[in-house]
Amino acid sequence: MATVNALRAQLQLAPLRDDEALESVGQALRLCPERPAREVMLAAGGLAAGELLPLPGLGVVLDTLRDAVMSPHPEQALTRLLAQWTGGLAEIVASWGDLVATAGRAAGPELILRLEHRERHVGALRLAVPERWQGLAAVAAEYALLARLQSAAAGAARRRVGERVLEGLLSGSGGGDVLGSEPFAVAVASFPLPLSSAGGLRGREDALDVLAAVGEGYLMERRLAGYSTVRSGEAVWLWSSLHLPTEGRELHAALLASTAQDVRLGVSSRHAMASQGAAAAVQTAYREARQALAATRSRRGVTPFQEMDPLFALLSDGRLTVLQSQVQTRLSALADDGRIEATLRAYLAHRGPLGDLATRLDIHVNTLRARLRRAEEALGGSLSDPAVLARLYLAFGAGSGAE
């Protein structure tokens, strides 16, 4: 009944079309093979609600659309129904770009209608139907949104079961045959900044829950068995992995496409359940994914564990603060407003002749050499000494790790 009332409210807002448009609608009605579909076309054509609601075919139409979106596979049922009615193409696309359901063949210009629920992008309806049917698009989009929400509700019920399994593994109390002997991976995502549209902690948890659902939907579309959950302010996924580099990049792309917020992602290496207990293997992968997430500097970045800086753990756990303090104290004694420290940082990152570095810094090469000599005097060692360079790298790395 809520769906019927929502549609009726929408129809009451529909503007009357001009004579030419109404004539086009009339032609469509004469060609339409089914009375219920003709009544929907009248609605889309802009008849006032007072004229539309008494029509006997409207209830059948609404029942047919409702049955489609309440079926076990609502997106597929709805696209098939729209294709049968219009003789054109109907497709529903997920928020991250995957084609969820398709039926029919293109028979007109393409229309793409964005589907949103509570200011959240949940997908799109794509129609390519004869021109006389394009007025149906607004009604079809409403039911496409309902179909997406119905699928999301069914997915949420499945996810709650999977959450308990994954939480048990992450806490060490689970085990058994979870993903079989297939290699698996774990990914962890977070929002690097406070959410602009979230209402405190509850809003953040809700946004993470949506993120977890999007990631699981991405995995299901690729037939990758897995689970998801939200814990410690992060979304977590565990899945059987076939080609991890591609899966990690595409999972991150799917997450970014589903939200206007920045999302960071850390991805573990591949592990095998058979090599150790299931819980121990998952916990190891979880630690790797969180380390990779912590090493992700970009607000919209993704870091695979195998590609992160191997010195990151050392640089980020605070053990190098003494070295950092010593180096900065010596350089600050030069009282040059940090110019020599900035030059040293650029020197460590540079590969090539000093002349190229001087050009990039917009200084003369002799000025560059003079700064480097003063740095050597302050540090008490030569920049050609690997030990001095190593200390500088670690000291500067420790400082940047805290940013």
Q: Is residue 332 part of a domain?
A: yes
- CATH number of the domain at 252, please: 3.30.70.270
The three-state (H, E, C) secondary structure of the chain, written as one string? CHHHHHHHHHHHHCCCCCHHHHHHHHHHHHHCCCHHHHHHHHHHHCCCHHHHCCCCHHHHHHHHHHHHHCCCCHHHHHHHHHHHHHCCEEEEEECCCCEEEEECCCCCCEEEEEEEECCEEEEEEEEECCHHHHHHHHHHHHHHHHHHHHHHHHHHHHHHHHHHHHHHHHHCCCCCCCCCCCEEEEEEEECCCCCCCCCHHHHHHHHHHHHHHHHHHHHHHCCCCEEEEEECCEEEEEEECCCHHHHHHHHHHHHHHCCCCCCEEEECCCEEHHHCCHHHHHHHHHHHHHHHHHCCCCCCCEEEHHHCCCCHHHHHCCCCHHHHHHHHHHHHCCCCCCHHHHHHHHHHHCCCCHHHHHHHHCCCHHHHHHHHHHHHHHHCCCCCCHHHHHHHHHHHHHHHCCC
Q: What is the pLDDT of residues 118-152, one digit of tens each?
A: 777 888 999 999 988 887 788 889 999 999 888 87
Residue 266: per-residue pLDDT:
95
d(C-alpha 352, C-alpha 357), whole Å: 8
Residue 203: domain span: 175-308
Q: Is residue 163 part of a domain?
A: no
Q: Is residue 18 part of a domain?
A: yes
Q: What is the pLDDT of residues 330-369, one digit of tens each?
A: 888 888 888 999 999 999 888 889 999 999 999 999 999 9
Is there a single domain that holds both residue 118 and residue 13? yes
Is there a single domain that holds both residue 244 and residue 337? no
Q: Last residue of some domain: 276, 308, 340?
A: 308
Amino acid, single-letter form, for residue 58: L
Q: What is the pLDDT of residues 154-182, one digit of tens each?
A: 766 677 777 888 888 888 776 555 666 78
Residue among 386, 377, 350, 384 nearest 365 (CA): 350
Residue 94: per-residue pLDDT:
87
Residue 204: per-residue pLDDT:
76
Is there a single domain that holds both residue 141 and residue 225? no
Q: Last residue of some domain: 286, 308, 330?
A: 308
Q: Last residue of some domain: 134, 150, 166?
A: 150
Residue 12: per-residue pLDDT:
35
Is there a single domain that holds both residue 353 and residue 301? no
Is there a single domain that holds both residue 138 and residue 56? yes
Contact 264, 296 (CB under 8 A): yes
Other beta carbons less than 10 A from residue 333's beta carbon: 9
- CATH number of the domain at 26, please: 3.30.450
Is there a single domain that holds both residue 15 and residue 49? yes
> Which has the minimum average pLDDT: 21-30, 43-52, 101-110, 393-402?
21-30
Contact 281, 271 (CB under 8 A): yes
Q: Is residue 11 part of a domain?
A: yes
Q: What is the pLDDT of residues 243-289, one digit of tens each?
A: 999 999 999 999 998 888 899 999 999 998 755 577 888 899 999 99
Q: Is residue 168 part of a domain?
A: no
d(C-alpha 80, C-alpha 360), whole Å: 61
Residue 8: per-residue pLDDT:
39
Residue 145: per-residue pLDDT:
92
Confidence of residue 326 (pLDDT cuts 50, 70, 90): confident
Is there a single domain that holds both residue 225 and residue 291? yes
Q: Is residue 167 part of a domain?
A: no
- CATH number of the domain at 390, please: 1.10.10.2840
Looking at the DSSP bridge assignments, the partners of residue 121 are 116
**What's the burial of 9, exposed, middle or buried (CB within 10 Å: 0-12/13-18/19+)?**
exposed
Is there a single domain that holds both residue 367 and residue 327? yes
Residue 179: per-residue pLDDT:
62
Residue 195: per-residue pLDDT:
56
Residue 400: per-residue pLDDT:
47
Alpha-carbon distances, residue 202 vs 141, 198, 206, 372 (angstroms)? 30, 8, 6, 52
Q: Is residue 347 part of a domain?
A: yes
Q: Is residue 265 part of a domain?
A: yes
Exposure of 76 in the CB half-sphere (CA atoms within 13 A): 3
Mean predicted confidence (pLDDT) in 194-213: 70
Question: With pLDDT > 90 as the criterion, what percentage of the chain qualifies?
Answer: 30
Contact 255, 296 (CB under 8 A): no
Domains identified in the chain, total number: 3
Residue 47: per-residue pLDDT:
44
| pTM of the entire predicted model | 0.56
d(C-alpha 344, C-alpha 387), whole Å: 15
Is there a single domain that holds both residue 55 and residue 181? no
Is there a single domain that holds both residue 300 and residue 340? no
User: Does 298 or 204 have the greater pLDDT score?
Assistant: 298
Is there a single domain that holds both residue 102 and residue 22? yes
Is there a single domain that holds both residue 15 and residue 146? yes
